[in-house]
Amino acid sequence: MLMCLAIPACVEQLINENYAIVNLGGIRKEISLALVEDIVPGDYVIVHVGFALQKLDQTEAERTLAMFAEISAPNKENI
């Protein structure tokens, strides 16, 4: 079974009305804004396969990113 993951990203720069540069955990990536409206730098969006799917509240984005960081951190009990 395959799973797809959409992740929160912070919009750093608008390229034009349909494209932006986002920060995905330190990686800058160009994405399409064709599916969302009224995005400005500093907004968080949910990104999947290069498209922003929806705007996300900053608090929810930060909470989700913190959970991802916790999941990916080495488990000290297994070391």
* Domains, the chain, with CATH or none: 11-72 (2.30.30.140)
pLDDT-based confidence at 6, cuts 50/70/90? Answer: confident
CA 29 to chain centre: 10
What are the Cα distances from residue 32, in Å, to 2, 14, 26? Answer: 24, 10, 18
Residues in CB range of 52: below 8 A, 6 or more apart: 9, 11, 20, 22, 31, 32, 33, 35, 36, 39, 45, 46
- What's the pLDDT tens digit per position in 14-67? 999 899 999 988 899 999 999 999 999 999 999 999 999 999 998 998 898 888
Question: Looking at residue 57, what is its pLDDT?
Answer: 92
Q: pLDDT at position 17, please?
A: 85
pLDDT (0 to 100) of residue 28: 96
pTM of the full structure: 0.82
